[in-house]
Amino acid sequence: MLGSVYLAPSLGESPSTPNIGVCQQSAPSSGVARTQICRMYPQLYATVDQFVVKGLRLVENLPEKDQLIKMKEENLTVCDGELLISILTRKANENCNIFGTSAWTPRRVDMVLWTYGR
């Protein structure tokens, strides 16, 4: 997947409080491992890629709209990834509050955005 950034907590850190500043660029061949980690820990992990950027650009009233427009979705940086994962986490928390559930995770929001606007 071109332009994807995978965000993970550092080793030894509590899984309930990931440090999204510790990141690595994902290689296309690591997609299977990345997907498995996202499935195992959806409350902590998400894949941010061109589809998330394109989907978020279609969401009205996002305070980060200008930053999203400036992103090169085919060549995301770690800083882009940090911003995107913070948006996904915030949206997951908002959805949990709105719907009175804990089912929304950054990973679930990422999956919805992957199809949004197609």
88-92 mean pLDDT:
92
Q: Tell me, what amino acid is at 65?
A: K
Question: How does residue 97 score in pLDDT terms, banded at 50, 70 and 90?
Answer: very high
pTM for the model: 0.70
Q: Is the per-residue pLDDT at 63 higher than 90?
A: yes
5 bridge partner residues: 25, 48
Inter-residue contact 2 to 74 (CB < 8 Å): yes
The ranges assigned to domains in the chain are 5-115
Predicted local confidence at residue 118, as pLDDT: 66
Q: Please, which pLDDT band fits residue 70 given cuts at 50, 70 and 90?
A: very high
Place of tokens 């299977």: 32
Residue found under tokens 């941010």: 48
